[in-house]
């Protein structure tokens, strides 16, 4: 059980982050939800989790594109036993047409935020004598596809950052790993479908089967509950010697 542990999940008012936060709470952890908005619905998600799982749940607004806000999120939470770096965005365009502001935002949110939150969380984990960092990378942290240069560069960076943090904490009761999902049906993926339809000149069904799931041999999307379960496993005692690696949840994508 993760009772008594505080889990901070960045980018967790939807999709995989929310799924992971829910599985953390189901395992008994107190959770901190986050995104860059500050709506009643955001806080409602936290109170819903608190009620459903009988844990403490809070929502803290912080923009993961800004280093100081990443660090402030950890400070404001006041405790961080488990850090899940999940916030992420996508943009699809050829390299020579890729908007610079999109490149900068993707590198900031998908990669640099994990540096800032980890830097702020590690002293707290050391003080507590225990810690888990789980970075949500991607199958695109291990392989590439056209038109996703910034995302793929950021996710490869996340895998590399995870290894480095693992080595710096290797002799402590702290682990750092990456989870590399294949396609999970979330709003982020949903939003890619029109772009991919345009880029490939295909209808929706064809782009889902032949482009998005082309490299996912299971021909099935992973679920946010499965991602949450993998994250909970990495926080368990069974995973205490798993550090500096990545776990693929990709229906066989990286076996191809």
Shortest Å, Cβ 176 to ligand NAD: 16
DSSP code for 28: T
Neighbours of 175 (CB within 10 A): 24
Binder of ligand NAD out of 72, 107, 119, 188 (CB under 6 A): 188
Q: Cα separation of 197 and 157, whole Å?
A: 28
User: Distance between CA atoms of 182 and 100, rounded to whole angstroms?
Assistant: 26
Residue 151 known to be catalytic: yes
Please identify which residue in 175, 183, 243, 251 interacts with ligand NAD, judged by CB under 6 A: 183
Smallest distance, ligand NAD to C-beta of residue 237, A:
26
- Which of 17, 228, 244, 251 forms a contact with ligand NAD (CB under 6 A)? 17
- Minimum CB separation of residue 218 from ligand NAD in Å reads 13
Residue 36 lies near ligand NAD (rule: CB under 6 A)? yes
Site for ligand NAD in 56-95 (CB under 6 A): 63-65, 86-89
- The DSSP call for residue 171 is T
Single residue of 23, 24, 25, 35 touching ligand NAD by CB under 6 A? 35
Helices (H), 12-95: 15-26, 40-53, 67-77
Burial class (CB in 10 A: 0-12, 13-18, 19+), 14: middle
Please, which of residues 121-160 interact with ligand NAD by CB under 6 A? Answer: 136, 138
């Amino acid at each position: 059980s993760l009772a008594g542990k505080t889990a901070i999940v960045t980018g967790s008012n939807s999709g995989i982050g929310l799924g992971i936060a829910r599985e953390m709470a189901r395992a008994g952890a107190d959770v901190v939800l986050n995104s860059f908005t500050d709506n009643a619905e955001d806080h409602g998600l936290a109170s819903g989790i608190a009620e459903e799982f009988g844990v403490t749940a809070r929502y803290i607004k912080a923009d993961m594109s800004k280093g100081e806000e990443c660090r402030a999120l950890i400070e404001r939470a006041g405790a961080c036993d488990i850090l899940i770096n999940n916030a992420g965005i996508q943009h699809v365009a050829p390299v020579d047409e890729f908007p610079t502001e999109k490149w900068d935002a993707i590198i900031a949110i998908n990669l640099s935020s994990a540096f800032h939150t980890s830097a702020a969380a590690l002293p707290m984990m050391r003080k507590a004598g225990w810690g888990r960092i789980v970075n949500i990378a991607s199958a695109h942290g291990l392989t590439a596809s056209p038109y996703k240069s910034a995302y793929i560069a950021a996710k490869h960076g996340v895998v590399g950052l995870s290894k480095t943090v693992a080595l710096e904490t290797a002799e402590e009761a702290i682990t750092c790993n990456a989870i590399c999902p294949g396609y999970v049906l979330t709003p982020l993926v949903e939003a890619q479908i029109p772009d991919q339809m345009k880029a490939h000149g295909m209808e929706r069904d064809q782009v889902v089967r032949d482009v998005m799931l082309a490299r996912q041999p299971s021909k099935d999307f992973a679920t946010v509950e499965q991602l949450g379960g993998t994250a909970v496993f990495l926080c368990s005692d069974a995973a205490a010697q798993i550090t500096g690696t990545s776990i693929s949840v990709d229906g066989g994508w990286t076996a191809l």
